Chain A
């Protein structure tokens, strides 16, 4: 059983400074309220994995890798491949991460990323079937958080989608009820490029892409995943607090605009990757 971790304490002086700057429309690191940090994506970072990507969002650093296998499909979806997302909060990333069984935070992160990919239908799972009810491809997306400076969710979604975009699957030949691995590979087609936008709320003010201190000092955060067609496929709120219905609708509009901008930066390398 995991216990809910306590949020690290942020000092009153740092909190005062955050609020003081917010009132002036500024942020601690000099960004605008709706400005993302520098995003850097490196594709195919691990040679041995079928697909991988290293994403740096400011000082947050995440390595995503995809492992491909063949497995028995789930009984309720005999024609669909298997997609499993797992997030590992490595203790080297932050003093608040401890070794041991997965924490609530890592499970919640993995579930959100899973939802973003699954519900956006970015991966067409029905195309990953080899023999219905018998053999399907299984995709394991492993996220390793290497440096934690806030906003894991957005960086993780970008890292996983990039890693899936570089994934190459081995071809199998079907002989009756058995399969044989061939020495050929084909690229995994992505049907959508979802991006997640995270906001941190301070009273009635909010900022996008919170850094670590902003995340700790905020009342709550909201993450929204937008698909390429401007529809939403995942929304999650972390922490206690309220937002008015009007404010929420406003946020949806902002997410669509920000999503377009972020998508063009985050997945620019994928189109050039043969």
Chain B
């Protein structure tokens, strides 16, 4: 939370090169640049101060993989010993055969493309990230695996914390008011576990609202009003 001025209805948007603070008071965080004792934004975004740390949260971003993140991937192509997976990031992830499942799989020569077909949606966890090779993901674990039904929605990756909310508050509001479970990947993909087009359309509206207005205070209340406004 930006603790500057609580009275302010809207968090200030900064542009690259704009001074955001002095390094005497803050520790430079992400998307900031320290020059002598001043700090500047390096991207278009909103300023967030957490204790002494000052970050600029970009308004739009691609996903930067981090170990332990739950991601929703799309199988791009079968490869030797695994699959390349699109995780909505500048980097393509790799899913090795050994991380596919707890169960043993029998692999004849040509069946790797049939175990996971191109375009299949999977949920996985980032297992390893290094600067030398692609991020590795694993499908081993509770709740991970192939997603064969539901609807896939997208949100810009920097807005994922807003759709989850503080301790999952926003997510629980959406789930409670629509009666549908959601799986939110850190990489900006969301699976709505329903195929009812009316509910999906409503959740799309919510996502659009979060993308558009997340820098304005009282987002959860507005989302609640949006969902309650028209009864399902």
Contact check, B197 vs A11: say whether CB atoms are below 8 A apart: no
Q: Output the least CB separation between B175 and chain A (Å).
A: 19
* Structural contact, A15 and B119, CB atoms closer than 8 A: yes
The answer to whether A13 and B151 touch (CB under 8 A), given A20-B197, A21-B197, A26-B197, is: yes
Q: Establish whether residues B197 and A13, one from each chain, have CB atoms under 8 Å apart when the complex forms.
A: no
With a cutoff of 8 Å between Cβ atoms, the chain A residues found around residue B86 in the complex are 9
What is the total number of residues of chain A having a CB less than 8 Å from a CB of chain B? 13
Counted as pairs of residues, one from A and one from B, with CB atoms less than 8 Å apart, the total is 35
Cβ-based interface call for B147 (8 A):
yes
Q: Is the CB of A13 within 8 A of B118?
A: no
Give B88 Cβ to nearest chain A Cβ, in Å: 10
Chain A 95-134 interface residues, beta-carbon cutoff 8 Å to B: none
- Name A11's closest neighbour in chain B (CB-CB): B74
Those of B198-215 within 8 Å (CB) of chain A: 200-201
Contacts of B121 in A (CB 8 A): 11-13
Chain B residues lying within 8 Å of A24, measured Cβ to Cβ, are: 197
Rounded to whole angstroms, the CA-CA distance of A10 and B118 in the bound complex is 9
Q: What's the dominant secondary structure at chain B's contact region?
A: mixed
Does residue B37 face the partner (Cβ distance < 8 Å to A)?
no
Contact with B along A11-23 (1 / 0, CB 8 A): 1111101001100
* A30 on the B face (CB < 8 A): yes
Question: Which of B74, B119, B147, B195 has a CB less than 8 Å from the CB of A17?
Answer: B195
> Closest Cβ of chain A: how far from B207's Cβ, in Å?
13
Docked Cα-Cα span, A12 to B148, in Å, equals 8
B120 contacts A by Cβ under 8 Å: yes
B191 touching A9 by the CB < 8 A rule?
Answer: no
Does B195 contact A20, Cβ atoms closer than 8 Å? yes
CB-based contact A9/B119 at 8 Å: yes
In the assembly, what is the distance between CA of A9 and CA of B84, in Å?
12
Contact B76 A13 (CB under 8 A): no
Interface string of B160-201 (1 = CB under 8 A from A): 000000000000000000000000000000010001010011
Q: How far is the CB of B90 from chain A (nearest CB, A)?
A: 8
Residues from chain A with Cβ under 8 Å of B118 in the complex: 9
Known pairs A12-B120, A13-B121; A30 contacts B201 (CB<8 A): yes
What distance in Å separates the Cβ of B114 from its nearest Cβ neighbour in chain A?
A: 14
Verify if B218 is at the interface (C-beta below 8 Å from A): no
Residue of A nearest to B74 (CB): A11
Q: Mark B112-126, 1 if CB is under 8 A from A, else 0.
A: 000001111100000
Q: Check: B152 CB closer than 8 A to any chain A CB.
A: yes
B12 touches A (CB below 8 Å):
no
Q: Which of B74, B117, B149, B150 has the most CB of A within 10 A?
A: B74
Per a CB cutoff under 8 Å, which of A11, A20, A26, A30 touches B152?
A: A11
Output the least CB separation between A222 and chain B (Å).
24
Q: Which of B86, B150, B152 is packed against the most chain A CB atoms within 10 Å?
A: B152
Q: With A17-B195, A24-B197 as given contacts, are A12 and B119 in contact (CB-CB < 8 Å)?
A: yes
CB distance from A248 to the nearest CB of B (A): 30
- B148 / chain A contacts, CB cutoff of 8 Å: 12
Chain B residue at smallest Cβ distance from A20: B195
Decide if A13 touches B201 in the complex (CB within 8 Å). Answer: no
Question: Which B-chain residue is minimally distant from A26 (CB atoms)?
Answer: B197
Name the A residues within 8 Å of B76 (CB-CB).
9
Q: Are B201 and A17 in contact (CB under 8 A)?
A: no
Which B residues touch A12, using CB under 8 A?
117, 119-121, 148
Q: Which residues of A contact B120 (CB under 8 A)?
A: 11-12
Kindly state the separation between the CA atoms of A273 and B215 in the bound complex, as whole angstroms: 39
Closest Cβ–Cβ distance, residue A78 to chain B (whole Å): 52
- Beyond the given A11-B74, A20-B197, could you list 6 further A-B residue pairs with CB under 8 A, ordered by the A residue number? A11-B121, A12-B119, A14-B152, A17-B195, A20-B195, A30-B201
A interface residues with partner B (beta carbon < 8 Å): 9-15, 17, 20-21, 24, 26, 30
**Can you report 20 residue pairs joining A to B where beta carbons are below 8 Å apart?**
A9-B74, A9-B76, A9-B86, A9-B118, A11-B74, A11-B119, A11-B120, A11-B152, A12-B117, A12-B119, A12-B148, A13-B121, A13-B147, A13-B150, A13-B191, A14-B152, A17-B151, A17-B152, A20-B195, A30-B201
3 nearest CB pairs, A to B: A13-B152, A11-B74, A12-B119
